[in-house]
């Protein structure tokens, strides 16, 4: 891993917001899935949750492929399971929904642990999501349309969350765990070895402050590669 890449990955990880997330409930259009994940990465979100109404649907490929390398996607088949998990993590659960009880999305305190439910493109959030959410939020409209595209709505809300969190100094305090940082540094900085570890069932090694692998000779032998051979590949 080059010093520049190490610095870039660490800078990204230093600004990750592990207690801010989105949950896509039945979102199925590829371009919307990709746009939501790209925006999440840009905002500094480390986890995205998705409820799949069709078991054959999964987030893969497309324009979000690069972003997916840096974000953990958590899959569910039931909305109830997803929201219960988010609440177990201490999140306030918001849902974008035009209702009498909805508040302007800018009135929410996003410095609190927050999860935002994004409903399906045509029908919006499910009755279960509306029942379990803590608060409906709405993006004010003054035109003829009543809603934005789901990925656009996601971006609008998340950038308000980012604004509030930056003002509160939350982007200046590294908040991701050491264990997670180590995993992402290894997977992002040494992808060939990460793939080999996954294939062979080997544990990930430590990554030192210079971005280099720290492992026993036994580990290298199991990888069937000497350290010299590794350095040669890594420098290419």
DSSP structural state of residue 136: E
Q: What residues make up the domain containing 211?
A: 178-234
pLDDT value for 65: 45
Q: Are residues 212 and 157 in the same domain?
A: no
pLDDT value for 54: 64
| Contacts of residue 103, Cβ cutoff 8 Å, sequence gap at least 6 | 135, 136, 137, 138
Q: Can you tell me whether residue 208 is helix, strand or coil? A: coil
Q: Are residues 110 and 166 in the same domain?
A: yes
Residue 88 belongs to domain with CATH number = 3.40.1280.10
Which of 180, 188, 190 is closest to 214 using CA atoms? 190
Could you tell me the pLDDT band of residue 235, with boundaries at 50, 70 and 90?
low
Residue 198 lies in a domain: yes
pLDDT tens track for 201-219: 899 999 999 999 999 988 9
Average pLDDT over residues 46-74: 69
Average pLDDT over residues 151-170: 95
**Cβ(104)–Cβ(140) under 8 Å?**
yes
Q: Are residues 154 and 63 in the same domain?
A: yes
Residue 185 pLDDT more than 80? yes
Residue 97 lies in a domain: yes
- Element at 40 (helix H, strand E): helix 30-43
Place of tokens 């207690």: 19
Domain boundary among 172, 195, 216: 172
pLDDT value for 128: 92
Residue 9 pLDDT more than 50? yes
pLDDT value for 236: 54
Residue 230 pLDDT more than 80? no
Residue 11 lies in a domain: no
Domain boundary among 121, 138, 172: 172
Lateral strand order in the sheet of 20-25:
72-76, 47-51, 20-25, 114-118, 92-96, 135-138, 103-104
Residue 6 lies in a domain: no
pLDDT value for 221: 85
* Residue 96 annotated in ligand binding: yes
DSSP structural state of residue 124: B
Q: Are residues 162 and 187 in the same domain?
A: no
Residue 72 lies in a domain: yes
Q: Are residues 154 and 197 in the same domain?
A: no
Q: Are residues 116 and 192 in the same domain?
A: no
pLDDT value for 223: 84
Q: Are residues 219 and 153 in the same domain?
A: no
Residue 68 lies in a domain: yes
* Number of domains, the chain: 2
pLDDT value for 28: 76
Residue 114 pLDDT more than 90? yes
Half-sphere exposure of 56 (CA within 13 A, CB side): 0
Q: Are residues 111 and 191 in the same domain?
A: no
pLDDT value for 46: 93
Q: Are residues 35 and 121 in the same domain?
A: yes
Residue 57 lies in a domain: yes
Which of 132, 140, 133 is closest to 106 using CA atoms? 140
Residue 4 lies in a domain: no
- The winner for highest mean pLDDT among 19-23, 53-57, 144-148 is 19-23
Q: Are residues 58 and 166 in the same domain?
A: yes
Place of tokens 């371009």: 31
Query: How many angstroms separate the Cα of 153 from the Cα of each of 62, 90, 148, 150, 180?
Result: 20, 24, 6, 5, 29
Per mean pLDDT, which range of 14-23, 48-57, 189-198, 223-232 is the poorest? 223-232
Could you tell me the pLDDT band of residue 52, with boundaries at 50, 70 and 90?
confident
Burial letters 66-84, b for 16+ CB under 10 A, else e: ebbebbebeebeebeebbe
Domain boundary among 140, 156, 172: 172
Average pLDDT, the chain: 87
Query: How many angstroms separate the Cα of 73 from the Cα of each of 37, 59, 60, 232?
Result: 9, 8, 10, 33
| Contacts of residue 55, Cβ cutoff 8 Å, sequence gap at least 6 | 77
Q: Are residues 71 and 151 in the same domain?
A: yes
Residue 143 pLDDT more than 80? yes
26 or 165: which leads in pLDDT: 165
Average pLDDT over residues 193-197: 91
Q: Are residues 60 and 146 in the same domain?
A: yes
pLDDT value for 66: 52
Give the β-pairing of 47-51 and 72-76. Answer: parallel
Per mean pLDDT, which range of 32-36, 91-95, 109-113, 225-229 is the poorest? 225-229
DSSP structural state of residue 63: G
């Amino acid at each position: 891993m080059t010093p520049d890449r190490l610095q870039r990955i660490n800078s990204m990880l230093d600004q990750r917001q592990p207690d801010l997330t989105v949950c896509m409930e039945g979102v199925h259009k590829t371009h919307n899935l990709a746009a939501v994940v790209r925006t999440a990465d840009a905002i500094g979100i480390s986890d995205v949750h998705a409820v799949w109404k069709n078991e054959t649907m999964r987030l893969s490929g497309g324009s979000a492929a690069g972003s997916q390398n840096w974000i953990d996607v958590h899959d569910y088949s039931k909305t109830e399971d997803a929201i219960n998990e988010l609440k177990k993590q201490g999140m306030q659960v918001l849902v974008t929904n035009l209702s009498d009880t909805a508040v302007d999305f800018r009135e929410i305190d996003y410095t609190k642990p927050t999860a935002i439910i994004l409903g399906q493109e045509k029908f919006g959030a499910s009755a279960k999501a509306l029942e379990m959410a803590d608060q409906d939020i709405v993006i004010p409209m003054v035109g003829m349309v009543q809603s934005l595209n789901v990925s656009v709505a996601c971006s609008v809300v998340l950038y308000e969350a980012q604004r509030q969190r930056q003002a509160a100094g939350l982007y200046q305090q590294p908040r991701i765990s050491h264990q997670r940082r180590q995993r992402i540094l290894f997977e992002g900085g040494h992808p060939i070895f990460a793939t080999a570890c996954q294939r062979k069932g080997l544990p990930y090694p430590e990554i030192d402050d210079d971005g280099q692998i720290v492992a026993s000779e036994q580990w290298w032998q199991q990888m069937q590669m000497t350290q010299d051979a590794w350095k040669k590949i890594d420098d290419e």
